[in-house]
Structure 1
Amino acid sequence: MEAGIEQLYQLAEAIGIARQWWDVDGMRQTVSDASLATIASALGYPAENERDIAHSLEQLDAEQRQPPAMIVTEAGLPTVLPASLARAELTDEHGFTTALPVENWTLPPVDVPGYYRLSLAGHELTLAVAPKSCPTVHDFAPGKLWGPAVQIPALRGAASHPFGNFGELDEAVKLFAARGADVMAINPVHALFPGNGQGFSPYSPSSRLYLNTAMGAPELMGLPPLPEQPGGALIDWEGALPRRLADLRKTFAGLDAATRARIALDNAPHGEGLQRQALFDALDVRFRAQGAGGWQDWPAAFHDPDGPAVAKFAAENREEIEFHLFAQWLARESMAKVQANATGAGMAIGLLADLAVGVHTGGADSWSMRDAMLQGLTIGAPPDPLGPHGQNWMLTSFSPQGLKRAGYAPWIATLRAALDRAGGLRIDHAFGLARLWLVPAGEEASAGGYVTYPFLDMVRLVALEAHRARALIVAEDLGTMPMGFAAPVAAAKMLGMRVLWFERAKDEGFIGGQDYPPASVAMTGTHDTTTVAGWWTGRDLEWAEKLSRFPADTTLAQQAERRDEDRARLWGTLTHNTRPRPKPDDPEPVVDAALRHIGRSASQLAIAPLEDLLAEREQPNLPGTITEHPNWRRRLDAPLADLLDQPDTAARIETLDRARKD
């Protein structure tokens, strides 16, 4: 069996499964042989026994001999051809073939970024030529820019709705543009499951190629506005999303022939993909009403998007599919209107969209792009002190092999969809461009392992698509950085994230904003971290105590004592102790100082969560919880216009704006 184990290790290395990895404490960890075999099998290389492994190695060798569907390179650089193309074979008269070495077989540099058809050795493939870097902040405007980060559903506007949509977002961009902001970071707006009040997390979408139809704002498209409805302090998603779907159906029913023709014309360029998304949504609504939670729960005949049952359903339910095409049109064109209004109001960048790291396993992307997606594996995180058993996010994404087979078409389409109606893009968990922690179905997260992705190709394609869209790219790089990640991302001029709470020196003190790298986004926090007011008052500690989230053998009193030490460190960094330290129940001066801190930082861009601009104590999301904390449910207390006009809030915004201009 020893030989079989060595072959297993050989197979794992060849397909990019890391046998060993280093945890947050720098300790080396080893993935079990059983996990290696299970992950390899799920990736399409059976490894349950020696015979399987031998066949998989042969399969892998045959695949590596096949020409790639796409070669990705950089403008101005020669490109070394892959072994499948940079080879010559000599066959004698008896049919015996010998491979001849071919040295330095390279393509000459191509200077203009873009996609090219390449004919090589009798093979047709695509050559993607990336620019040396993404657009930078200075490509949009001189100086150091700033903007808020908002959770769209939390917004309240002039009209009363149970949650914010692109109409409230449109009001928000105009309000902040008038106050000097050049960008507005938003939560992911990917397609969810229409009308499903249970699946409302923006980071667990059905598809990253299309939009959350509940965000559509008819008034932005010259249609009658949605009916006004009261909304409480917390969003009642379970009731609100089905009602929103019903309201959109009424809007659709009232469309005249000219508007329907206009919608069809606008949708036409989006082709078969949009049609398939509408078809999926129609099927999901049908079968969810019967208890299905995803396409795997549908009758088996509907699992194949190209099968006869799906075709028959499409033919018999044309009006239902037309409704979902309308809903996608409304969301898409509404968001485009918001972006146009943002830049028209003076924002240099406008919307900074957010690309979720993966999709729901039972969603539209998983259904329609099965050959390119992971099967039997979900994304998560390895064990660490905050999660001793690891995390399983129950999301799927592209498989490395599927991406290469498809010539990266799904990745390119995903990037284009995200950049189509925004001035920039934040890539959530950007480490996933290099590796993902994949967990076998039915196993604990600790049974997973890291699988490498074609990192340089994916980074270059991000740069190419950003270049084509003239868009800013932010790479969320919080956490344990994979080896070799930093240099290519820095070379591509993607902005890293410098979040106040994580920018500490070796002595645990907070570093000065002048030490933040210029190619970064300075932030007082994210949707996953405590607010400044919440941290200063210890609200996050109260939640941790309530939900038993402290590390083992740690008490609230111990955490509170450490927090008081940290308050002294933070206040010293923010003010150089030139003013008395505020008491724990007086967070407003600390919020002001934190905003000034990121404003004066060396970072080219500063982003403050709206919660910090309002000095709120509660955060939008508490990672690692589902129902224990009201994640993605919080609303503003009043219309945004009223809140921004309050003297304290207006002063905080002025503080940030002035600090950026100093």
Structure 2
Amino acid sequence: MGLARLAALHGVATVHSPSPGVTVPVPDETVVAVLAALGVDASTDEAVGSELARAESAARSRLLPPTVVVWTTPATPADTDAAGTEDPAGPSAPAAVLPPALPRALADLPPGTVLRVETEQGDTVDWPSLDTPPADGPAPVPGAAPGPQAPAPESRSWPDLPLGVHRLAAVAADGRTAGAVLVVAPHEVPQPPSRTHGFLVQLYSLLSTRSWGMGDLGDLAELATWSGRELGAGFVQINPLHAAVPGDPTDPSPYRPSSRRFPDPVHLRVEAVPEYAYVSGLGTARLDGLLEQAAGLRAAVLDKGALIDRDAVWDLKRQALGIVREVPLGPGRRAAYNHFLAEQGQALEDHATWCALAEVHGSEWHDWPPGLRDPRSAETSRARHELIDRVDFHSWLAWLTDEQLAAAGSAARDAGMAVGVVHDLAVGVHPGGADAWAQRDAFAEGMSVGAPPDAFNAHGQDWGLPPWRPDVLAASGYAPYRGLLRGLLTHAGALRIDHVMGLFRLWWVPAGAEPTRGTYVRYDAEAMLAVLVLEAHRAGAVVVGEDLGTVEPGVREALHRRGVLGTSVLWFERDWEGTGRPLAPESWREDCVATATTHDLPSTAARLTGEHVELRHRLGLLGRPLEQEQHEESAEVADWLGTLTRLGLLPPDGGDEEEQIRAVYRFLLRTPARMVGVWLPDAVGDRRPQNLPGTWDQYPNWRLPVADASGRPMTLEELAAAPRLHGLMGVLRPSVGT
């Protein structure tokens, strides 16, 4: 009982429920290992008793939790008119609000406690003495105990607090003091202005005739401009552009990056760097030679069936950028670069230092000389000075990439897109990468994020990504998380969060253990959501959560309250609690991005033809005989096609493949979903998935270009002229603004 109590005090689960009505105990050794990663010794009964006494004493004497959240209440138009406080400064300015309900953390303070707030804007606000009865704060998240109902917020006197992340100090009548981070957040994130549709695409897979062997930010700007102006698209959703861990070969997965904070310069369009035009002399000849080699890489992928080779692409771009860097920056460009360096501060210096050190010592920092494993050591400081030119080179690359990200975002807005570019946030980072090195204290040593066993994977999953420590995040006022979000949202019209359930809890797997022997560790979901809502509000960005798979009860409701859209995929939307048949379109949720497939699932053509089952059979991935899998898959497809026919979306004879795919998207338009996503490969009949979960070298994950129904790669220019694409998009075009 002592171990279970200690675990509960630190948010560590001792049981989990893989399915309704089933409870599985977590092995004691797992609980002990996870607590150790949180800095809690539970190795013996004596240690458990000592740690438990310490934790319970701290809980009794604590005045404030590390982070306190205040949610503002949106004002009605009448309130705004009466107050006259509509601020033209934009989404970063405080909005017109009604007084919020008193957070439970403050309502539980002893009578007579005095509070003082130091705002992030530099002001000091004194809070009147608290003598109100306990009140309920925001709607509870999973795991939180309900409290008594709060009296009407209008009945209290509230200080004038701006939106932001502030410092809160408390002085109790008995002399005790405490400090905390105070997050004042809007009620919800910005919403899409109207019903809109757009493309979902893996950027690397979209090659134009100007690409250097893989899609780049120039291609993204081109896609946004064309689809926005010609097709009425409201957004383009892409894969994470996070910096990868260099390797031999580099892991091509965009979901296991070195850094989520900074993008990968492999996505740069070299010719779009302003200084490129001023290269002269021998540099011009060298660039011409590199351009010729890049054309060869592009032709190999598009004409000869070669896979996308990001290492070969980066080798050419790195050489070309080295030549371009020899051109001095003009005064204006130099000032812009210096401003970027100052704005990014320590985070960029750490990232660039890791990149420079990785060139010398390899990309696994755990294997570096001991002194260099600490980003704040004297040895690292000396190494940074010795490698200052390489540190500056990688900082310069981050600046160039930021500029081209801004250009792509501007292209989307200029094309009239209602949302714009939807960037993607991976769930974690590589343990040997830049973020894990720079923020090593924030990550749980010896732990990996994964998923417990479920109906789709009896062995569970280990994703090889170290989790953030919830205690360190809270103590820092969620500084690493805030910095990450602010960086990603700078040029985003929206942000998709992979495995959004991770804001609430994550499945931690101890090093060397099977994924089945992990456990859930809970995060302060209210604080995580408040920071997310605040940063999205400041950026004016929509937020989409990938909430597929096993979702804890209450999570979708909590996300809905904060305006975070979910993800709904056609093949998963059934009346699971009733008939089991396809869910009627009018029964779908409104607050979602509705789509037919994702990068981890078969394309719609492969699903309709059953080719994805044959692919999995060839690779030995089926858990049952081929005939049984094919029979079940055919029955599911027939069920959906029958539904489409009954709704009048397909002719009685069922139509051909193209007509069936158009019917699938007509169905999505019948739903109330705020955003409808078209998987770009669906528009040209591509059969191949971009990623086949459960494979590594058996299948070319993350290395395939978009192709037509025959498997022939297509350029962006060919896609823009493809009759099949225009036939499908003609179905969606009338939906604009409806």
TM-superposition CA deviations, 1:412-470 (whole Å, max 9, x none) = 11111111110111111011111110000111111101111111221122111111111
2:620 aligned partner: 548
User: Which amino acid is 2:350 matched to?
Assistant: R
Per the TM alignment, residue 78 of structure 1 is displaced from its structure 2 partner at its CA by 3.1
1:132 aligned partner: 187
Q: Give the counterpart of 1:77 among 81, 100, 122.
A: 100
1:347 aligned partner: 417
2:227 aligned partner: 176
Distance 1:342 1:83, change over 3 A: closer
Instruction: List aligned pairs for 1:261-660, cutoff 5 A.
Output: 262-288=336-362, 293-506=363-576, 507-551=579-623, 554-576=624-646, 579-582=651-654, 586-636=656-706, 637-660=713-736
Q: Give the counterpart of 1:239 among 276, 290, 312.
A: 312
Number of residue pairs aligned between Structure 1 and Structure 2 = 635
* Kept after mapping to 2: 8 A contact 1:599/1:606: yes
Q: Give the counterpart of 1:56 among 31, 51, 60.
A: 51
In 2, the alpha carbon distance for the partners of 1:348 and 1:395 equals 34
TM-superposition CA deviations, 1:551-600 (whole Å, max 9, x none) = 3xx211111112221122111222326524558xx532221111222123
* Kept after mapping to 2: 8 A contact 1:511/1:573: no
In 2, the alpha carbon distance for the partners of 1:498 and 1:208 equals 25
In 2, the alpha carbon distance for the partners of 1:210 and 1:277 equals 8
Q: Give the counterpart of 1:214 among 266, 269, 283.
A: 266
TM-superposition CA deviations, 1:258-312 (whole Å, max 9, x none) = 4455423332211121111111111112112xxxx42111111111111111111
In 1, the alpha carbon distance for the partners of 2:274 and 2:248 equals 27
In 1, the alpha carbon distance for the partners of 2:253 and 2:438 equals 21
Per the TM alignment, residue 103 of structure 1 is displaced from its structure 2 partner at its CA by 7.6
* Kept after mapping to 2: 8 A contact 1:218/1:334: no
Per the TM alignment, residue 38 of structure 1 is displaced from its structure 2 partner at its CA by 1.5
In 2, the alpha carbon distance for the partners of 1:102 and 1:116 equals 23
Distance 1:570 1:223, change over 3 A: farther
User: Which amino acid is 2:727 matched to?
Assistant: A
1:33 and 2:28 equivalent?
Answer: yes
User: Which amino acid is 1:420 matched to?
Assistant: T
Secondary structure, in 3 states, of the residue corresponding to 2:325? helix
In 2, the alpha carbon distance for the partners of 1:631 and 1:201 equals 8
In 2, the alpha carbon distance for the partners of 1:89 and 1:172 equals 60
Of 457-466 and 338-347, more deviation after overlay is shown by: 457-466
User: Which amino acid is 1:527 matched to?
Assistant: H
Per the TM alignment, residue 130 of structure 1 is displaced from its structure 2 partner at its CA by 1.3
In 2, the alpha carbon distance for the partners of 1:185 and 1:659 equals 18
Distance 1:505 1:124, change over 3 A: closer
Q: Give the counterpart of 2:324 among 246, 251, 267.
A: 251
1:118 and 2:171 equivalent?
Answer: no
User: Which amino acid is 1:114 matched to?
Assistant: G
In 1, the alpha carbon distance for the partners of 2:134 and 2:630 equals 63
Per the TM alignment, residue 543 of structure 1 is displaced from its structure 2 partner at its CA by 2.0
Of 451-460 and 332-341, more deviation after overlay is shown by: 451-460
In 2, the alpha carbon distance for the partners of 1:536 and 1:211 equals 36
1:94 aligned partner: none
Per the TM alignment, residue 221 of structure 1 is displaced from its structure 2 partner at its CA by 3.9
Q: Give the counterpart of 1:148 among 199, 209, 228.
A: 199
* Kept after mapping to 2: 8 A contact 1:209/1:414: yes
Per the TM alignment, residue 26 of structure 1 is displaced from its structure 2 partner at its CA by 4.8
User: Which amino acid is 2:69 matched to?
Assistant: V
* Kept after mapping to 1: 8 A contact 2:424/2:495: yes
User: Which amino acid is 2:215 matched to?
Assistant: G
In 2, the alpha carbon distance for the partners of 1:60 and 1:245 equals 52
TM-superposition CA deviations, 1:165-222 (whole Å, max 9, x none) = 1111111111111210011101011122357642221101111111112112244442
In 2, the alpha carbon distance for the partners of 1:63 and 1:188 equals 41
* Kept after mapping to 2: 8 A contact 1:568/1:581: no
* Kept after mapping to 1: 8 A contact 2:567/2:592: yes
In 2, the alpha carbon distance for the partners of 1:239 and 1:398 equals 33
2:237 aligned partner: 185
* Kept after mapping to 2: 8 A contact 1:335/1:421: yes
User: Which amino acid is 1:550 matched to?
Assistant: L
Per the TM alignment, residue 534 of structure 1 is displaced from its structure 2 partner at its CA by 0.8
In 1, the alpha carbon distance for the partners of 2:246 and 2:635 equals 48
Of 389-398 and 214-223, more deviation after overlay is shown by: 214-223
In 1, the alpha carbon distance for the partners of 2:526 and 2:390 equals 42
In 1, the alpha carbon distance for the partners of 2:310 and 2:664 equals 33
In 1, the alpha carbon distance for the partners of 2:329 and 2:182 equals 46
* Kept after mapping to 2: 8 A contact 1:80/1:104: no
Distance 1:89 1:464, change over 3 A: closer
In 2, the alpha carbon distance for the partners of 1:494 and 1:436 equals 19
In 2, the alpha carbon distance for the partners of 1:78 and 1:436 equals 29
1:104 aligned partner: 133
In 2, the alpha carbon distance for the partners of 1:132 and 1:160 equals 43
Identity over aligned pairs, percent: 31
* Kept after mapping to 1: 8 A contact 2:68/2:103: no
* Kept after mapping to 2: 8 A contact 1:599/1:656: yes
1:199 aligned partner: 251
Secondary structure, in 3 states, of the residue corresponding to 2:532? helix
TM-score, length-normalised on structure 1? Answer: 0.91
CA-based RMSD of the aligned residues comes to 2.5
Distance 1:362 1:109, change over 3 A: farther
1:97 aligned partner: none
Per the TM alignment, residue 63 of structure 1 is displaced from its structure 2 partner at its CA by 4.8
Per the TM alignment, residue 244 of structure 1 is displaced from its structure 2 partner at its CA by 3.0
Secondary structure, in 3 states, of the residue corresponding to 2:105? coil
TM-score, length-normalised on structure 2? Answer: 0.82
* Kept after mapping to 1: 8 A contact 2:201/2:679: yes
Secondary structure, in 3 states, of the residue corresponding to 1:619? coil
In 2, the alpha carbon distance for the partners of 1:501 and 1:309 equals 54
Instruction: List aligned pairs for 1:152-171, cutoff 5 A.
Output: 152-171=203-222
